[in-house]
Copies of this chain bind each other. A is one copy, B any other.
């Protein structure tokens, strides 16, 4: 263990305890899967230790190595890039059958691993994301969460103006803050924040808007909602009722839109990191639900290839609203990691929808895809207005403040 890691020892243990004991809510006897990367050993091992102390039966760590992925993208035959060994998906489905706990450690351990590669080739290899994830999430068989694991390379990407050690210390400070580890009892602080978000979600659901309208610099986008679209916070329950918080941090409320009724154009307000590649300056035009044009300052090919992967990949599966009362946005930090950045700003996602956010009557209408890619479109300069079925316009989120 390096001196730097020892210095952050209390934070590592507190983060692991929050992840295992509160967010994933690991139960005695459970199998616990951990998706990690080389470079995240300290948090990974603390998570494993916390899980075993809570009576886990087995902790199954998958260290996914983006430099091995780089070797593939650089050298493998074009027609093999979408191959995934069948045992990867079978493991995930088995975790579902086991009613396992699933923990993903976010943050970048190797932010430059895919630099300079062809984005179109990069977009064809979506690992470590698996197509079976959609099934396991929507059947609600696992108690899962995603939480950040700070690393030196990630810190240097986020804070290039600082010396490496200072950048790493700053990133840890920020992670401690956004994860509410600086509260006397982080779990209680999260329960309080979740009550606020659930209340907001319930107010939004009660409005039964027909659509949302996003308007700001480079953005004029209308997103239709389904009749039964209900707003959700990130506090989920397994099908059997076990509570878990799926993102730490989480500051969003979200719902499942109508994949046939999205029109206009949108400019991303933050860069997007997707399976190892960074995409900057995204601009998308939608017509009748479909993304008909995807442009970006850099990395557009990654997103275009992913969005061309199946019929639903170019349609929306999520719309989420984030106010300025959360802890991520006010930092003004670009984390280059969706888990953090999507909780700084309202966002939409191409691809698979959460089916549990609509009633049975609408389940056949929600978007289906093997992808789910969130990108950020909100800021204080983007106004969000609710459109009612009788053509009324209701302010929803202006200047980052709730109007409902």
Residues on A facing B (Cβ under 8 Å):
31, 38, 41, 44-45, 48-49, 51-53, 55-61, 63, 65, 67-68, 71-72, 74-77, 80, 83-87, 90-91, 94
Contacts and interface: CB of A to CB of B under 8 A. Distances in A.
A91 to B, nearest CB: 4
B57 A41 contact: no
Given A80-B57, A80-B58, A48 B72 contact: yes
10 tightest Cβ-Cβ pairs between the two chains A and B: A52-B75, A63-B63, A49-B71, A87-B91, A48-B68, A48-B71, A45-B67, A57-B80, A52-B71, A52-B76
Nearest to A75: B52
Nearest to A73: B52
A37 to B, nearest CB: 9
A76 B59 CA distance: 10
A83 B55 CA distance: 13
Given A38-B63, A56-B76, 14 more contacts: A38-B41, A41-B65, A41-B67, A45-B65, A45-B67, A48-B67, A48-B71, A52-B76, A55-B77, A58-B80, A58-B84, A59-B68, A61-B63, A85-B94
Contact of A49 (B59, B75, B90): B75
Contacts of A76: 52, 56-58
Contacts of A52: 71-72, 74-76
- Report which residue of A44, A60, A68, A77 has the largest number of chain B beta carbons within 10 angstroms of its beta carbon: A68
B67 A83 contact: no
Contacts of A48: 65, 67-68, 71-72
Contacts of A63: 38, 61, 63, 65
- Report which residue of A31, A52, A74, A83 has the largest number of chain B beta carbons within 10 angstroms of its beta carbon: A52
Nearest to A84: B58
A35 to B, nearest CB: 12
A85 B60 contact: yes
A72 B87 contact: no
Contacts of A94: 85-87
A202 B86 CA distance: 42
B53 A75 contact: yes
28 contacts: A31-B85, A38-B38, A38-B41, A44-B65, A44-B68, A45-B65, A45-B67, A48-B65, A48-B67, A52-B71, A52-B74, A52-B75, A53-B75, A56-B76, A57-B76, A57-B80, A57-B83, A58-B80, A58-B83, A58-B85, A59-B71, A60-B85, A61-B68, A63-B63, A63-B65, A87-B87, A87-B90, A87-B91
Contacts of A80: 57-58
A125 to B, nearest CB: 10
Contact of A71 (B45, B65, B71, B83): B45
A61 B76 CA distance: 16
Contacts of A44: 65, 68
A84 B84 CA distance: 23
A45 B68 contact: yes
A44 to B, nearest CB: 7
A77 B67 CA distance: 36
Contact of A65 (B31, B61, B85): B61
Contact of A59 (B45, B56, B72): B72
A71 B48 CA distance: 7
A329 to B, nearest CB: 34
